[in-house]
A and B are shown apart, each in its own frame.
Chain A
C-alpha cells in the first residue's frame, strides 16, 4: 500500500470510528422526537407572531435533537399546518445545528477548548435567527407542493416501538453513508493537499474562512460528526474552523437538494444563499469575540 493510501485509509477509519457513537446517539434521539412528539405540539408552540415564533422555534431546535433528514420535511409539514414558514424553517435549521448532541460532540472533538463549543453555539444561534428574520421580512412562502418524508408513510396503527426503530434505521442508513462520504473527502483533502497549503492559508484568515465554508458545503457532513473532522484542520485559524461547523448544518449540497425537494427551487436558492451569508458573518463576529 502506498504511503498516501495508507494515510488516507487510517484517517478515514479514524473519522468514521470517532463519529459513529455520536451519530447513533443522535439518530436514536431524533427518531424518538420524530415518533413520540406529535406535529400538533410543534404547531401549538410555533403558531404565533413571527417575532415570538422565530426565536421560539430556534430555542426548540436547541432542545430537540434532529437530523436534517427529519427536520427539513417537518418544517414543510408545520408550514402546511399554519405555522409561519420562517418559524418552521428556523426550527429545521436550529435543530441539527444547535442540539445538545452536536454540542456534546463538539466538546469531545475540541477537548480543552470550551470556547469553541460556546462560539459554535452563539454563531449558529445568531445565524438561524438572521435567516428566520430575513425570510419573514421577505415574506417567503414556498409553493404548496412539498414532498413528503418517509416517516409520514407509517400507518397510524403501527406500534410506536416499531415506528421508532424504523425511523432510526432510516436515519442511520442515510447519515452513515454521508458520514463515510464526508470522511473520505476530508481524508483525501488532508492527504492530497500539498504540505504547505494549510500553513499558507492559515496566515490569511479571510481566505481560510472562505476555503472552510466551501469545504463545508461540498463535504455535506452530518452535524453530529462534523466537529471531529473540523478538529482535524489543526493548523487553520479557529474562526475558519468555526465557520466550517456553522456553515455545514445550515447549507450544504445535500441540504440544498432537500430544500429544493421540500420548498421548491426559488425558496431553496434563497434559503441557501441567506444561510451561507449569515453563517459566515456570524462566525466572523463570534470568532473574533470569543476565540
Chain B
C-alpha cells in the first residue's frame, strides 16, 4: 500500500504537469491555471517520489489513494475531450445577459446586404453574448456590421444554431452561449467546429445571424469562452 501511495502521487503529479505543458488543460480549465497546475504537479510528484524511495515514511496509507490513482489514469490515459454540443450537456445561458464590453471598428460597417466578399474582408469576430448585446443596445448601427463567429454547429428544435461553451471557473460550470443562424443550403454535421460570416438579420425579437459564408475549422486551442465574469 505504501508503494501504491507513492506511485499514485507520482502519477497524479506527472499528469498535472503533462496536461499543463501540452495544453490539454485548456480542454478542462482556464489558461490561468497552467502555472499553478505545473507547480502543484511538481510538489505532488516530489512527495510521491520521496515516498517511493523511502525518504518519507508513510504511516497509514489511506484506501482513498486508489481514487487519486484513478484520477491520474483518467487524466493521462483517457484524456477526455472538451464538452461538446453532441453530448447533450449544458444549460443555455441567455446570451443577452452576458455582461460584455467591446467596440466595433468603423471598418466593420459594410452596410446591410453587403456581399460575402466584403463581409469576409471586414468582419469583426464576436461571440454570441456580444452579438445579443449589440442587437439590444445599438440595433441601428449593428444592422450593417460584418460579423465573424466561431463555435460548434447545432440544430435546436430544427433551428440551426452556433454554440460555444462559456466557463467561469472550469468545464464543470460551463453554460451554452448560442446564436440562431439563418442558414441556406448545405449544413455541416452537428458538433462540427465552424467559422461563419454574416450579419444580423434585423429581427430584434428573435435575432439571428444571416450566414453569408462558412467553413469547417479544427477545434480551437481554447474551446471555451472565458468572458471574465
Judge if A108 is at the interface, Cβ distance under 8 Å. Answer: yes
**A113 (CB) vs chain B CBs: closest residue:** B229
Q: Restricting to B46-69, which residues have a CB under 8 Å from any CB of A?
A: 47-48, 50-51, 56-68
Q: Which secondary structure dominates where chain B touches chain A? A: helix
Is A3's CB under 8 angstroms from B175's CB? no
Q: Restricting to B153-209, which residues have a CB under 8 Å from any CB of A?
A: 168-173, 175
Is A111's CB under 8 angstroms from B229's CB? yes
Query: In the complex, which residues of chain B have a beta carbon less than 8 angstroms from the beta carbon of A195?
Result: 88
- Tell whether A11 pairs with B171 under 8 Å between CB atoms, given A3-B88, A169-B50: yes
Query: In the complex, which residues of chain A have a beta carbon less than 8 angstroms from the beta carbon of B28?
Result: 10, 13-14, 17-18
Query: In the complex, which residues of chain B have a beta carbon less than 8 angstroms from the beta carbon of A232?
Result: 169, 172-173
Judge if B118 is at the interface, Cβ distance under 8 Å. Answer: no
Judge if B87 is at the interface, Cβ distance under 8 Å. Answer: yes
Is B25's CB under 8 angstroms from A17's CB? yes
List, sorted by A's number, 19 A–B pairs whose CB atoms are closer than 8 Å: A17-B37, A17-B170, A18-B28, A21-B39, A110-B168, A112-B229, A165-B56, A168-B47, A169-B9, A169-B58, A173-B5, A176-B12, A176-B44, A177-B65, A181-B67, A184-B67, A190-B172, A228-B172, A232-B169
**What is the CB-to-nearest-CB distance from B171 to chain A, in angstroms, rounded to a whole number?**
4
Query: In the complex, which residues of chain B have a beta carbon less than 8 angstroms from the beta carbon of A168?
Result: 47
State in angstroms the CA–CA spacing of A21 and B37 once bound together: 6
The CB with the most chain B CB atoms within 10 A, among A20, A24, A28, A234, is that of A20
**What is the CB-to-nearest-CB distance from B37 to chain A, in angstroms, rounded to a whole number?**
6
**A184 (CB) vs chain B CBs: closest residue:** B67
> Which 4 A/B pairs are nearest by Cβ-Cβ distance?
A177-B64, A112-B229, A21-B36, A232-B172
**What is the CB-to-nearest-CB distance from A43 to chain B, in angstroms, rounded to a whole number?**
25
**What is the CB-to-nearest-CB distance from B222 to chain A, in angstroms, rounded to a whole number?**
14
- Tell whether A177 pairs with B58 under 8 Å between CB atoms, given A7-B89, A183-B71: no
Query: In the complex, which residues of chain B have a beta carbon less than 8 angstroms from the beta carbon of A9?
Result: 74, 78, 80
Is B47's CB under 8 angstroms from A169's CB? yes
Judge if B146 is at the interface, Cβ distance under 8 Å. Answer: no
Q: Restricting to B17-48, which residues have a CB under 8 Å from any CB of A?
A: 19, 25, 27-29, 33, 36-37, 39-41, 43-44, 47-48
State in angstroms the CA–CA spacing of A25 and B39 once bound together: 10
Q: Which secondary structure dominates where chain A touches chain B? A: helix
Query: In the complex, which residues of chain B have a beta carbon less than 8 angstroms from the beta carbon of A229?
Result: 172
Query: In the complex, which residues of chain B have a beta carbon less than 8 angstroms from the beta carbon of A231?
Result: 168-169, 172-173
Query: In the complex, which residues of chain B have a beta carbon less than 8 angstroms from the beta carbon of A170?
Result: 58-59
Query: In the complex, which residues of chain A have a beta carbon less than 8 angstroms from the beta carbon of B36?
Result: 21
Query: In the complex, which residues of chain B have a beta carbon less than 8 angstroms from the beta carbon of A165?
Result: 47, 50, 56
Query: In the complex, which residues of chain A have a beta carbon less than 8 angstroms from the beta carbon of B173?
Result: 231-232, 234
Judge if B16 is at the interface, Cβ distance under 8 Å. Answer: yes
Judge if A16 is at the interface, Cβ distance under 8 Å. Answer: yes
**What is the CB-to-nearest-CB distance from B29 to chain A, in angstroms, rounded to a whole number?**
5
Is A6's CB under 8 angstroms from B80's CB? yes
